[in-house]
């Protein structure tokens, strides 16, 4: 046997007698280990870069400081030279005027004192403008009536309803502000105003925080009426499209206030179609009124008032779904153990309670909120409502033997004269 064969045989025996190694790690463990090594390598690169940056940072700061100081000194010298030249020109001009026996320079406001007088006058004039705007935007007292209850025709007393919106958290809520007749006649001499005119006149005068809500209105940008279309020219950085929540509050606010417009067109300041973040370029959109196709729930605000709040609904489901709460915040207006059937008679929704309903057994506010939520829900579908199998014939303002009145809007407030 040759030497090479002996070596190969010895190597085979050595390898055969070596202990066997097994790797019980899963594929995920191996992958994570490799990834860890790679991440560690990347981190080391960042650290090395940071070390290099830290090493040269003092020198870079020193160089920048010298350049900045040089610039400031040259600017100062240039300004001083310019000022000296101006003062010299003023002196030469004054000497010339004296020689010619002309009025002194101070009277023609060429001196520095004359310029300061001009600046003071300009500031005073600007303050007058600011004060004038402040007077025009003076806050108008608004207070809830009947615990922010629903507004009906009898509540208006010849006044007009101003559909408004208030904001709490990531939600916008409709309110109905009654503006007295005398106030309308005084401030709108050309006839009854539309929703945009009311908004322009009163939106900045309503103290939302005093009502217990966030300051949200007036909206940024400019609003213009173009027939049945409301055009909103929005500035850059308006923020209404920052997230789905902010976009929702914006859209609901528009819906609550501008109830007599059919379309909304959002535009950039230059009049081009706007690029709405997360949506893209949008054109004219149909503007569904905030009072249309909705069912109502109750929600207690931070201010302590219980509001009736709307949620979009289809007619076939609206009254059937009202006994169920929409979520933890928006709870049902239908008291526990109260059930009913829904039918239609022409344009009237008939709610028939399964058992004779004695309203006196309910909390008074709960009974009122339920009735008003029924009327608001029916009105949003251009229908009226009638209750059947109720013990009482009259309850609060409601004649329960007849069709209930059509509401003007939810959550009533009164604007003081």
Q: What digits encode the pLDDT tens for the residues 228-238?
A: 999 999 999 99
Among 200, 204, 198, residue whose Cα is nearest residue 177: 198
Sole residue written with tokens 């499209």: 241
CB-CB contact of 397 with 375 (8 Å): no
In a domain, 26, yes or no: no
Q: Residue 97 has what pLDDT?
A: 39
Residues 302 and 407 in one domain: yes
Report pTM.
0.67
Is 80 inside any structural domain? yes
Residue where a domain stops, chosen among 261, 286, 311: 286
pLDDT in the model for residue 75: 57
Q: What is the pLDDT, as a whole number, of residue 17?
A: 65
Domain boundary at 92, 111, 136, which? 136
- If asked whether residues 381 and 361 sit together in one domain, one would say yes
**pLDDT of 20 over the 60 cut:** no
Is residue 209 located within the same domain as residue 113? Answer: no
User: What pLDDT band is residue 253 in, cutting at 50, 70 and 90?
Assistant: very high
DSSP alpha helix (H) spans, 240-284: 244-257
In this structure, the answer to whether residues 152 and 276 fall within a common structural domain is: yes
Q: Is residue 34 part of a domain?
A: no
CA distance 405 to 149: 14
Please give the average per-residue pLDDT across 216-237, as a whole number. 96
Domain's final residue, options 235, 263, 286: 286
The answer to whether residues 159 and 273 belong to one domain is yes
152 and 264 both lie in a single domain: yes
Note whether 325 and 275 are same-domain residues.
no
Query: Across residues 126-131, what is the average pLDDT?
Result: 36
pLDDT at 192 over 80: yes
Task: Write 48-57 long-range contacts (CB < 8 A, 24+).
Answer: none
Same domain, yes or no, for 150 and 277?
yes
220 and 321 assigned to the same domain: no
pLDDT in tens, 69-103: 665 555 555 544 444 444 455 444 444 434 434 44
The total of structural domains in the chain comes to: 4
Question: Is there a domain that residue 333 lies in?
Answer: yes
Residue 8 inside a domain? The answer is no
Q: Specify whether the CB–CB gap between 238 and 220 falls below 8 A.
A: yes
184 and 111 co-located in one domain:
no
Q: Are 376 and 308 in contact (CB under 8 A)?
A: yes
Q: 191 and 90 in one domain?
A: no
Nearest to 338 by CA among 394, 293, 391: 391
State percent of the chain over pLDDT 90. 57
Question: Would residue 88 count as lying in a domain?
Answer: yes
Which has the higher per-residue pLDDT, 131 or 232? Answer: 232
Establish if 154 belongs to a structural domain. Answer: yes
Helix (H) or strand (E) holding 65: helix 27-99
CA–CA separation, 268 vs 254, rounded Å?
A: 17
pLDDT digits (tens, 9 = 90+) for 333-385: 999 999 999 999 999 999 999 999 999 999 999 999 999 999 999 999 999 99
Instruction: Count H helices and E strands in the chain, helices first.
Output: 9, 19
Q: Which domain holds residue 349?
A: 294-411
Same-domain check for residues 298 and 386: yes
Which residue carries 């329960």 as its tokens? 400
DSSP one-letter string for 293-362:
SEEEEEEE-TTS-EEEEEEE--HHHHHHHTTS-SSSSSB-SSPTT--EEEEEETTEEEEEEEEEE-GGGS
Q: Which long-range contacts (CB under 8 A, 24 or more apart) does 62-65 make?
A: none
Tell me: the pLDDT tens digits for 314-333? 999 999 999 999 998 899 99
Q: Look at residue 1 and tell me if it is in a domain.
A: no
Please write the tens of the pLDDT for every residue from 285-312: 988 766 688 999 999 988 888 999 999 9
What is residue 45's predicted lDDT score, i.e. its pLDDT? 37
Band (pLDDT 50/70/90 cuts) for residue 133 is very low
């Amino acid at each position: 046997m040759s030497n090479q064969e002996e070596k190969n045989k010895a190597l085979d025996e050595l390898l055969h007698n070596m202990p066997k190694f097994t790797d019980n790690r899963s594929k995920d463990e191996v992958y994570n280990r490799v990834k860890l090594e790679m991440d560690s390598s990347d981190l080391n690169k960042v650290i090395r870069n940071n070390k290099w940056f830290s090493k040269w940072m003092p020198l870079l700061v020193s160089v920048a400081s010298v350049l900045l100081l040089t610039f400031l000194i040259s600017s100062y010298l240039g300004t001083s030279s310019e000022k000296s030249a101006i003062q010299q020109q003023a002196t030469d001009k004054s000497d010339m005027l004296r020689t010619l026996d002309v009025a002194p320079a101070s009277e023609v406001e060429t001196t520095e004192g004359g310029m300061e007088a001009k600046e003071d006058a300009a500031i005073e004039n600007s303050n007058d403008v600011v004060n004038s705007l402040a007077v025009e935007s003076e806050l108008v007292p608004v207070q809830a009536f009947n615990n922010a209850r629903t507004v009906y025709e009898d509540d208006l007393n010849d006044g007009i309803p101003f559909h408004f919106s208030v904001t709490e958290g990531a939600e916008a809520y409709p309110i109905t502000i009654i503006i007295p007749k005398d106030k309308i006649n005084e401030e709108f001499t050309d006839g009854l105003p539309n929703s945009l005119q009311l908004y322009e006149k009163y939106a900045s005068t309503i103290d939302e925080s005093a009502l217990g809500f966030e300051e949200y209105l007036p909206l940024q940008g400019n609003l213009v009426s173009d027939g049945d279309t409301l055009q909103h020219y929005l500035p850059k950085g308006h923020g209404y499209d920052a997230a789905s929540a902010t976009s929702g509050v914006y859209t609901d606010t528009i819906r609550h206030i501008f109830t007599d417009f059919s379309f909304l067109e959002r535009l950039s300041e230059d009049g081009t179609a706007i690029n709405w973040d997360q949506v893209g370029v949008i054109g004219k959109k149909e503007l569904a009124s905030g009072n249309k196709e909705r069912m109502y729930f109750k929600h207690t605000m931070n201010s302590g008032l219980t509001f009736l709040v709307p949620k979009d609904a289809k007619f076939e489901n609206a009254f059937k779904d009202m006994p169920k709460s929409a979520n933890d915040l928006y709870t049902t207006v239908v008291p526990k153990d109260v059930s009913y059937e829904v039918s239609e008679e022409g344009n009237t929704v008939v709610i028939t309670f399964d058992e004779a309903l004695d309203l006196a057994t309910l909390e008074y506010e709960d009974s009122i909120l339920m009735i008003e939520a029924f009327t608001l829900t029916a009105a949003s579908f251009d229908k009226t409502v009638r209750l059947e199998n109720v013990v009482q014939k009259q309850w609060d303002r409601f004649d329960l033997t007849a069709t209930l009145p059509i509401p003007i809007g939810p959550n009533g407030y009164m604007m003081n004269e």
